[in-house]
Amino acid sequence: MPPPPRLTGGWVTNWGAIAQGTNGLGGVAEGQLFRVTAENEAVSQCTRGGGMNCKLIFTYSNQCVALAHPGGRATADSIGLAEERAKNVCNERNSAGTCRIVYSACSLPYFARAVLPLERPGGR
């Protein structure tokens, strides 16, 4: 009886990015396999959405991110924790207590599995 197939594979990094225009409009990307793809997509989305002079403001990988308005950003292992941290940063900068989450997302890693072919008896 041949041995059972062995599972192999590895962790795949996921990237996200946030861009913002000088007029306050922005663009985002999440779940991208390459950093440059996430960055380009965020800037492109910003421009397509009417952002002017869009610039990349943040890139992240294998975690969650949250933006609070007016002026808080944080990352964490979960979306809830990222939102809590972003609000805390925002509230430290703005004593009025008017901070609210305007964006949150995750670009988490995943395990990609592969199955090796079975070996034939006799090594062939």
CA atoms within 13 A of residue 30's CA, in its CB half-sphere:
12
pLDDT tens per residue, range 15-48: 999 999 999 999 999 999 999 999 999 999 999 9
Task: Please name the amino acid found at residue 52.
Answer: M
Per the structure, the complete domain to which residue 101 belongs is given by 63-105
- 2 domain-assigned: no
Does one domain contain both 39 and 75? no
- 117 domain-assigned: no
pLDDT tens per residue, range 63-122: 999 999 988 999 999 999 999 999 999 999 987 778 999 999 999 999 888 755 555 555
Predicted local distance difference test score (pLDDT) of residue 7: 67
Does one domain contain both 44 and 17? yes
- 86 domain-assigned: yes
Better pLDDT: 124 or 6: 6
- 121 domain-assigned: no
- 81 domain-assigned: yes
E strands in 42-117 = 55-61, 63-69, 72-76, 100-107, 110-115
Predicted local distance difference test score (pLDDT) of residue 33: 95
